[in-house]
Structure 1
Amino acid sequence: MQVAVLSDIHSNYRALEAVLAECEKRQIKDYLFLGDYVTDCAYPRKTMELLRETERRWNCKFIRGNREEYLLRHRVSGENGWQKGSANGALLYTYQQLLEEDFVWMGTLDFRGTQFYEGGSQLSLCHGSPWETRGRLMQDKNLAVRVLESLSQDVLLCGHTHCRGVFSYRGKKLVNPGSVGMSPDVPGRASFALLTWDNESWQEEFCEAAYDVQAAVRELKESGLIDMAPVWTAMTCHVLLTGEVLFPRVLARVQELAALKGSSSEDLEQLWEQAAAEAGMPSYF
């Protein structure tokens, strides 16, 4: 038995298409999706259509990610400060592209769960951690130990950090399949994992699929996303092409600059531009 594990698609429908095609070649019929399906890349509806079609064709389990939570909260609260610009323009772009049926579907998802396959042991699933969607288990081994100790299952599947890997502790293990849509492990390719039951335990295999990354980059501009969130979208482009993730560093610097200069002393987008330049990000658009 083999199960495909996919996480962090981030609207990169081209990468998702490539992964699904590779899984079909391998005759995979069982899929686990760990959240962050949309935001950051262009045309999120295409990603949603692929996911719903996969759900109709195969045995799928979906977990909610923090990006789905952001969108659902915005839907409930209405106008909560999202506007054009790198601070949250990419989120607003995605929100405006999605349909009512997409939000209804997202609302049915839990941020954690379990999955059992006949003949194999039960799997535990989450996006960040079983306690909250933004947990960073691979970067916080103390947290990972506490989480694994709290679980009855031997395997916990998680996403969020985009970095694939395995952490083992006292016969249990944590597996992150990496990111389908914005992979730092294999730039320009889509990362996912396969789990195989060997009659005693689940064994993981990290896989990748090639896709047209240049087309994905072009669509960042053609879709109008670059206009909604200029620096943020340029950083997305940077991840797609190089694997280097600048978001945390640039965001932290923007916050520092805003505190130093005052929120009304300068256009906020100029602070994003300054922070990105200080981080050494090339000009892509």
Structure 2
Amino acid sequence: MRIAVISDIHANLEAFTAVLENMQIKNVHACVCLGDVVGYGAEPEPVLQLLWENKIPSILGNHEEAVYDDDILHYFNPQAKKTALLTRKMLKPESVERIKKWPVNIEFHGALGVHGFPPDSIHKYLFEADQGAISRMWDSVPYKLCFVGHTHNLDLVAFDGHNVITYPLLEGGWLLDNRKTIVNVGSVGQPRDGDNNAKYVIWDTKMNALTICYVPYNIQKAADKILKAGFPEINARRLY
């Protein structure tokens, strides 16, 4: 089975639509989303509706939490806080209620998906975990393969029982081995790795291999919508 793993769409309808079209070309059989569907972008409600129309399960990201939990806003910088408050106004009440029911992690085909750091952290970034934290994490996680998002960067972290090694993931194929592995799937709607294409990962469960996908989309259109909606200018500039 070929499973697309996506994350951090961030209300970018242009990027998400382009990725969905790319999935069809790549013969994807299923898709899982690792959270932060909303935030930063100008179209949170249309993106959520498209996610649900395509029956894509999602877990909770920190920007979903900010939609309904005022305590989360204390951890956001002023621009992110303004974004969260504007996003709240754009969402239907029933959409907020659906978001509240999203789980903090998801198991699929023997792998685990979480927004931040396994097994269930929404807020912890992968790069915040040192080698000791990563090796200890595997003591309590009964999975050999975990997928995360949150950082907006593509990375693979492998653990052989002794050493933790981090590899950057570039466009193309990657064959997984017997090591315990964390895959950071990057961002659909707001990559921060120096390349402005939408990014996502396809996991081939039969071959135990990854395909790293870079997808071009209409960045200018997405940026113009952000500015027109009154979001902070940085939200638009980051797309480039």
Q: Same fold (TM over 0.5)?
A: yes
How far apart are 1:113 and its partner, in Å?
Answer: 2.2
Structure 1 Cα separation of the partners of residues 57 and 84 of structure 2: 24
The unaligned stretches of length 5 or more in structure 2 are: 161-178
Structure-1-length-normalised TM-score: 0.71
Residue type matched to 1:155 in 2?
Answer: L
Residue of structure 2 in register with 1:61 after alignment: 57
Higher RCO (C-alpha under 8 Å, 6+ residues apart): 2
How far apart are 1:132 and its partner, in Å?
Answer: 1.8
Residue of structure 1 in register with 2:101 after alignment: 108
Residue of structure 2 in register with 1:222 after alignment: 228
Structure 2 Cα separation of the partners of residues 35 and 23 of structure 1: 18
Identity of aligned residues (%): 26
Render the CA deviation track for 1:94-144: whole Å, top value 9, x for unaligned: 00000012112111211112112xxxxx01110002242111124423322
How far apart are 1:87 and its partner, in Å?
Answer: 5.8
- How does 1:184-263 map onto structure 2 within 5 Å? 184-185=192-193, 187-198=195-206, 202-225=208-231, 233-241=232-240
Structure 2 Cα separation of the partners of residues 92 and 168 of structure 1: 38
Structure 1 Cα separation of the partners of residues 188 and 135 of structure 2: 26
The unaligned stretches of length 5 or more in structure 1 are: 117-121, 226-232, 242-285
Query: 1:86 is paired with a residue of what secondary structure?
Result: helix
> Relative to 1, partners in 2 of residues 1:207 and 1:186: Cα closer, same or farther, differing over 3 Å?
farther
- How does 1:162-177 map onto structure 2 within 5 Å? 162-170=152-160, 171-177=179-185
Structure 2 Cα separation of the partners of residues 22 and 34 of structure 1: 18
Structure 2 Cα separation of the partners of residues 124 and 164 of structure 1: 17
Q: Residue 14 of structure 1 contacts residue 212 of structure 1 at CA under 8 Å; is this kept in 2? A: yes
Structure 1 Cα separation of the partners of residues 186 and 237 of structure 2: 17
> Relative to 1, partners in 2 of residues 1:206 and 1:13: Cα closer, same or farther, differing over 3 Å?
same
For the pair shown, the structure with the greater C-alpha radius of gyration is: 1
Q: Residue 227 of structure 2 contacts residue 233 of structure 2 at CA under 8 Å; is this kept in 1? A: no
Query: 1:207 is paired with a residue of what secondary structure?
Result: strand
Residue of structure 1 in register with 2:123 after alignment: 134
Alpha carbon RMSD of aligned pairs, Å? 1.9
Q: Residue 3 of structure 2 contacts residue 32 of structure 2 at CA under 8 Å; is this kept in 1? A: yes
Q: Residue 18 of structure 2 contacts residue 216 of structure 2 at CA under 8 Å; is this kept in 1? A: yes
Structure-2-length-normalised TM-score: 0.84
Residue of structure 2 in register with 1:264 after alignment: none
Structure 1 Cα separation of the partners of residues 153 and 213 of structure 2: 13
Structure 2 Cα separation of the partners of residues 224 and 203 of structure 1: 42
